[in-house]
Chain A
Amino acid sequence: TQLLEQSPQFLSIQEGENLTVYCNSSSVFSSLQWYRQEPGEGPVLLVTVVTGGEVKKLKRLTFQFGDARKDSSLHITAAQPGDTGLYLCAGERNTDKLIFGTGTRLQVFP
């Protein structure tokens, strides 16, 4: 089974703190994408990483693809209440389908 496990499952932090969300698998993925989903809405694409070891930055968000392309991390610096949401990683293995992770629900308190 091509499972993508995310940790932690839930995260509650104060505004200004840093955090890291992990996405792990025993399978190799050709690319990995991170999405953010608000309640009752569709996932919104944040970033796609395709090269092992790749690091991409999006303002306060830093995404890394593991060297072996089996894992990824999302680091948020100085979290803000607007970062609150469900963060999903999703991988693909040279097919059309995305395999979604289990999700990390982030709550940032003012």
Chain B
Amino acid sequence: EPEVTQTPSHQVTQMGQEVILRCVPISNHLYFYWYRQILGQKVEFLVSFYNNEISEKSEIFDDQFSVERPDGSNFTLKIRSTKLEDSAMYFCASSERGGALAQYFGPGTRLLVL
């Protein structure tokens, strides 16, 4: 069964460093998303991406964040200068159609900022 994959599974970084989290969405899906989950808290929407541009973003997704689809398969989330409060699980998701229907999530990347 097709699934969303994410790399790395864990990332430890120093505050102020740049990180890039990678995702390979399900191959026939056209809509891509990033969510995060701070330990013990709810899953929160960050950004959605369709047709090579951001379609919606939350207030969390400030200028330190960016997304890119550099080739036909990868979807990346970059955090330019990490802060302690960026420590969280970051989940990539994809869907065949938009409107948040049937989003399939990856296993997540656990980011720890020291």
Chain A positions near chain B (C-beta within 8 angstroms):
30-31, 33, 35, 40-45, 48, 50, 88, 90, 92, 94-103
Q: Are B48 and A97 in contact (CB under 8 A)?
A: yes
Q: Are A97 and B100 in contact (CB under 8 A)?
A: yes
Inter-chain pairs besides A40-B89, A98-B35, A103-B42, 5 sampled, C-beta below 8 Å: A31-B101, A44-B105, A90-B43, A94-B99, A99-B45
- Which chain B residues border A45 with CB–CB below 8 Å? 102-105
Task: Assess A95 versus B91: contact at CB under 8 Å? Given A88-B43, A100-B42, A102-B42.
Answer: no
Q: How many residue pairs, one in A and one in B, have C-beta atoms under 8 Å apart? A: 68
B25 within 8 A of A: no
The 5 closest A-B pairs by CB, nearest first: A92-B100, A96-B48, A42-B105, A97-B45, A100-B43
Q: Are A48 and B45 in contact (CB under 8 A)?
A: no
Which chain B residue lies CB-closest to A48?
B102
Main secondary structure, interface of A, reads loop
Interface size on B, residues (CB 8 A): 28
Main secondary structure, interface of B, reads strand
Q: Are A92 and B99 in contact (CB under 8 A)?
A: yes
- Which chain A residues border B55 with CB–CB below 8 Å? 96
Stretch from B64-72, B75-83, B106-114 contacting the other chain? B106-114
- Which chain B residues border A40 with CB–CB below 8 Å? 89, 108, 110
B18 within 8 A of A: no
A42 nearest CB across to chain B (Å): 4
A30 nearest CB across to chain B (Å): 7
CB pairs A–B below 8 angstroms (11 shown): A31-B100, A31-B101, A42-B4, A42-B105, A45-B105, A48-B101, A95-B56, A97-B58, A98-B33, A98-B45, A100-B43
